[in-house]
Amino acid sequence: MKSSIIIGLTFAGVAHGAVPGFDISHYQSTPYDFDGAYSSGARFVIIKATEGTTYKDPAFSSHYTGATDAGLIRGAYHFAHLDSSSGAAQAEFFLENGGGWSRDGITLPGMLDLEGDCVLSASAAVAWIQDFSDTYHASTGRYPLIYTNPSWWETCTGNSSAFVDTNPLVLARYSSSAGTPPGGWPYYTIWQFNDAYEYGGDSDTFNGDQSGLEKLATG
């Protein structure tokens, strides 16, 4: 089922353009204007919930409520620490602290944030990501979005193509164009293209139209 959803988003993106959005955490310390973002055309936001197996973003609940009240489709993300605990343990912590998914039409599947130093071998990193992804899927019926940049993915996973058919790509590339996605993904689902969104956080764009975004939310 997931594969057919991803393919549908590809065609939607080619045919109908893009939908603005953004992502946030309390670290950015900007006062977020969810209503202003919605009025300007943004239709989704991804909000930091957890990190490792001990850290919970203190602003997650208020951010999530603000996004919901503004009418935004919203989701949560988990910042991975591949060397501190298993992928399964971190997925469970994420799920217990805001990272779940429900078929309510306004909740995106959770996002796994992969960046920073390479702390495992490429094969071990791929196994860790698979552990997280499978645990999340077993609980929700959805595979998590994978956020990464080309350099991290190519270096830290050996440019693995193991997740192409299951996990939508959130591509971090601060440039005038998204370029070629890493890891054999034929396209990105969401592109993070700068870290200075007018209403707070990082600027994103969904590769499709509004109906495609809603389809990603509903499953």
pLDDT tens figures, 26-53: 887 667 899 999 999 999 999 999 999 9
Query: Two tokens at 7?
Result: 């393919």
- Judged against a pLDDT cut of 50, whether residue 13 lies above it is answered with no
Tally the domains of the chain.
Answer: 1
Cβ-based neighbour number of residue 197 at 10 Å = 25
> Is 23 one of the catalytic residues?
yes
pLDDT of residue 17: 65
- Judged against a pLDDT cut of 50, whether residue 15 lies above it is answered with no
Catalytic residue among 96, 115, 131, 209: 115
- Cα separation, 81 vs 177, whole angstroms: 29
Q: Supply the pTM of this predicted model.
A: 0.91
pLDDT: which is higher, 77 or 176: 77
**Phi, psi (degrees; rounded to nearest 5) at 24:** -145, 160
- Judged against a pLDDT cut of 60, whether residue 3 lies above it is answered with no
| Full domain range(s) for residue 90 | 2-218
Q: What is the mean pLDDT of residues 86-106?
A: 98
Q: Which residues have a Cβ under 8 Å from the Cβ of 96 and sit 6 or more positions away?
A: none
Q: Which residues have a Cβ under 8 Å from the Cβ of 110 and sit 6 or more positions away?
A: 49, 75, 76, 77, 78, 94, 95, 99, 100, 101, 136, 140, 142, 144, 145
Percent of the chain with pLDDT over 70: 91
What pLDDT digit, counting tens, does each position of 157-203 carry? 999 999 999 999 999 999 999 999 999 999 999 999 999 899 999 99
- Judged against a pLDDT cut of 60, whether residue 8 lies above it is answered with no
> Is 214 one of the catalytic residues?
no
- Cα separation, 67 vs 77, whole angstroms: 14
pLDDT of residue 29: 61
- Cα separation, 117 vs 3, whole angstroms: 30
Q: How would you label 45-57 residue by residue, b for 16+ Cβ within 10 Å and e otherwise?
A: bbbbbbbbbeebb
Query: Two tokens at 2?
Result: 């997931």
What pLDDT digit, counting tens, does each position of 137-149 carry? 999 999 999 999 9
What pLDDT digit, counting tens, does each position of 118-165 carry? 999 999 999 999 999 999 999 999 999 999 999 999 999 999 999 999
CATH code of 77's domain: 3.20.20.80
Residue 145 and residue 192 in contact, taking contact as beta carbons nearer than 8 Å: no
